[in-house]
Chains A and B, each alone.
Chain A
Amino acid sequence: NAGVTQTPKFQVLKTGQSMTLQCAQDMNHEYMSWYRQDPGMGLRLIHYSVGAGITDQGEVPNGYNVSRSTTEDFPLRLLSAAPSQTSVYFCASRRTRDEPYEQYFGPGTRLTVT
């Protein structure tokens, strides 16, 4: 079991560029989510998915898109990067929406937008 994997680990983008952060889990979890972590602000939920084909917005969705075509993968797309999106991004998964204690986080992607 690899758990939750994220690629890349580090990325530098110029303002206006787009990119996709990859997230995959091999635990057959229904629920997956993306968070960003900024200094002094804790983790904030960007988007989440309760199953393949179903996604919804979290607390800070603007500037990001997601899709969930398979149970395993949940990519996060930055449409037009802005310096305000400089952050550490964590993908997380859990078996169902009702088991927050079984939430596993990926190792994170550190994104810098210049």
Chain B
Amino acid sequence: EDKVVQSPLSLVVHEGDTVTLNCSYEVTNFRSLLWYKQEKKAPTFLFMLTSSGIEKKSGRLSSILDKKELFSILNITATQTGDSAVYLCAVEVNNNDMRFGAGTRLTVKP
């Protein structure tokens, strides 16, 4: 059975801290791994990773994939209150299906 596990489930930090969110997976037919940010409503796309060891970066956010150890991390540096959200990891297992993790709820306190 395909499985995507995120950790921690929730995290509380203060502004300026750096956080690392984890996503591990066990799937039969890996195509890509995606990270989303979900604030109050719909998830919004952050990164898509297909190759090991290549860091994707956008401002203070970065992500990397390890296909040998079957995990990805999402780093956020110099966190701000606007980073408070649920961060979702999803693995595309074929052309038509994505398996999501339960998400990590990040709270950034002023």
Contacts and interface: CB of A to CB of B under 8 A. Distances in A.
A101 B97 contact: no
B4 A42 contact: yes
Interface stretch (B12-20, B61-69, B75-83, B100-108): B100-108
Contacts of A4: 42
A97 B34 CA distance: 15
Interface of B: 4, 9, 31-32, 34, 41-45, 48, 88, 90, 92, 95-103
Contacts, number: 56
A97 B97 CA distance: 9
Given A100-B32, A105-B43, A43 B90 contact: yes
A40 interface: yes
Contacts of B96: 48, 50, 56, 58, 97
Contacts of B9: 40
B97 A45 contact: yes
Contacts of A41: 102
Contact of A100 (B4, B88, B92): B92
B95 A98 contact: yes
